[in-house]
Chains A and B, each alone.
Chain A
Amino acid sequence: MYDPTVARLTYRALLGRRRALILGALPLLLIVIAVAVRALTGADDQTASDVLGGFALATMVPIIGVIAGTGAIGPEIDDGSVVYLLSKPLKRPTIIFTKLIVAIAVTMVFSAVPTLIAGLILNGNGQQIAVAYTVAALVSSIAYSALFLLLGTVSRHAVVFGLVYALVWEALFGSLVPGARTLSVQQWSLAVAHKVSGGDLVTSDVGLTTATVLLVAVTVLATWYAGQKLRALKLAGEE
């Protein structure tokens, strides 16, 4: 199911100079914000939760998910170099699964690790807030990677659609429209975070069971469907 060569090619494409800079910018911003907030307001659990929930989980994680998820396959399909993977005796779902693992790993490293660091800076993991949001970032990294990898497989405008989903749906509707929250990776991961923190600072509109089922279902279905789409991928000719 996992091919180390596909993984190596994907890592190198993803962590190429330009994309690595974009991937690194948001985490850096988060840590700068955390340092500034801590310096200005001191350690405060509510503030820590606001920063981690409002910026890290609602904005940074989905955007990194978009960059890593779509970037793991989209550019290869766009420029046609995916032909070098497809013209091998390699099962198409193996290609997708491997790319998913890489996208998840990259999203986790660039979102969960800085979330933990920012949380520790903000309130030293008081009330388990840093760990709770880190777990949320880890969990949502998986679902976002799967969703955006699928998007990268089916659409040439994956980054645009992905950003619209991440920013409009997750960040805007997710916070304003109650119904949209049920269908939000962010809320599902918050349900898991709520369980970890145990307190009332981290809350979700979705119950833990529903959230877990939806997270697993979205990840599995998106990955399966991406594998199917890749099996039937037509490489457009020059004509």
Chain B
Amino acid sequence: MTTLSIDHVSRWFGNVVAVNDITMTIGPGVTGLLGPNGAGKSTLINMMGGFLAPSTGTVTLDGQPVWRNEKIYQHIGIVPEREAMYDFLTGREFVVANAELHGLGDKAAQRALATVEMEYAQDRKIATYSKGMRQRVKMASALVHDPSLLLLDEPFNGMDPRQRMQLMDLLRKMGDEGRTVLFSSHILEEVEQLARHIEVVVAGRHAASGDFRKIRRLMTDRPHRYLVRSSDDRALAAALIADPSTAGIEVDTAEGALRIQAVDFGRFTALLPKVARDHGIRLLTVSPSDESLESVFSYLVAA
């Protein structure tokens, strides 16, 4: 059982506060660290991985400090966000080197390569790898020493759906085996698919913590605003307002569009096309007007 404890951690760079008094405990299983870009996720992960000293507060792994403690890496595997990884080596050479740096040999490297299913390309230079292959070799390098804590910074960035699914399966397996797995992401759906437990960071602050379903509900039950253009706006408005998923509709004559406020996101998105079809109305534009992640998060923070 490995527990990572972040205790009243702040980190500032000059006058900028990147992480503001965050306290959280990450236990076994998969935890998602969710937040918009620039929220302080990478800063937090860097402090968790011992690559950055907290300005105040402490980060400990089972009671051991993480900062300036090289021995702690016997228990931590890290998958950094950055791409660079000794491109002049082959995948196998890279993972073997990582194993050796842990005092292990070829066997551990080969096992890790098998875990991420990269044996087929292990003798190719890393420079020739796709983004997904790089990510898997990075994973292998983080797994060679069988760590009890795995930290991944934006692991799904730039991966195609199939690669994403493979990596998700792998992380899920790691979590089920009792490892403590923490990954960061700015994409809600990604986190939802993988993590039971999520930690939300917004603007350097710890905004929410707990079961994803509850937090997801908080996020989705807020009023969603849509801008809709159709072949008959008024008829569509009349049909939609009859359903409880819609809280209000404004006919914006200047824009020639409807501004719809929906309260039940899931139901509304199913309702809209159905209503349009039933009434023979053509939908020309359907665009969420406040769907930026920032607005989702700021709603969450306000809640």
Q: How far, in whole Å, are A45 and B41 apart by their CA atoms in the complex?
A: 66
* Complex contact B97–A239 (CB within 8 A): no
* Complex contact B52–A87 (CB within 8 A): no
Task: Pick the interface stretch among A77-85, A134-142, A159-167, A194-202.
Answer: A77-85
* Complex contact A9–B51 (CB within 8 A): no
Task: Pick the interface stretch among A88-96, A115-123, A168-176, A213-221.
Answer: A88-96
Whether a CB of chain A sits under 8 angstroms from the CB of B18 is: yes
Contact (A90, B51) CB under 8 Å given A83-B82, A238-B81: no
Contact (A88, B86) CB under 8 Å given A83-B51, A234-B52, A235-B51: no
Task: Pick the interface stretch among B72-80, B115-123, B241-249, B291-299.
Answer: B72-80
CB distance from A5 to the nearest CB of B (A): 4
* Complex contact A83–B74 (CB within 8 A): no
Whether a CB of chain B sits under 8 angstroms from the CB of A154 is: no
User: Which of the residues B70, B78, B89 comes within 8 Å of A83, measured between beta carbons?
Assistant: B78
Q: How far, in whole Å, are A92 and B153 apart by their CA atoms in the complex?
A: 23
Whether a CB of chain B sits under 8 angstroms from the CB of A8 is: yes
Q: How far, in whole Å, are A15 and B102 apart by their CA atoms in the complex?
A: 25
* Complex contact B85–A84 (CB within 8 A): yes
Among A9, A80, A85, A239, max chain B CB count under 10 A is at A239
- Using CB atoms, name the residue of chain B closest to A4: B100
* Complex contact A238–B82 (CB within 8 A): yes
CB distance from B159 to the nearest CB of A (A): 16
Whether a CB of chain B sits under 8 angstroms from the CB of A157 is: no
Q: How far, in whole Å, are A237 and B204 apart by their CA atoms in the complex?
A: 14
Contact (A92, B51) CB under 8 Å given A5-B100, A237-B46, A239-B43: no
* Complex contact A88–B85 (CB within 8 A): no
Among B49, B51, B52, B77, max chain A CB count under 10 A is at B51
- A-chain residues with CB within 8 Å of residue B72 when the two chains form the complex: 89
**Contact count band on A:** 20 to 34
* Complex contact B71–A89 (CB within 8 A): yes
- B-chain residues with CB within 8 Å of residue A234 when the two chains form the complex: 46, 51-53
* Complex contact B84–A81 (CB within 8 A): yes
CB distance from B38 to the nearest CB of A (A): 5
A:196-239 near B, CB below 8 Å: 231-235, 237-239
Among A83, A85, A92, max chain B CB count under 10 A is at A83
* Complex contact B71–A80 (CB within 8 A): no
CB distance from A8 to the nearest CB of B (A): 7
Q: How far, in whole Å, are A204 and B181 apart by their CA atoms in the complex?
A: 61
* Complex contact A87–B49 (CB within 8 A): yes
Whether a CB of chain B sits under 8 angstroms from the CB of A178 is: no
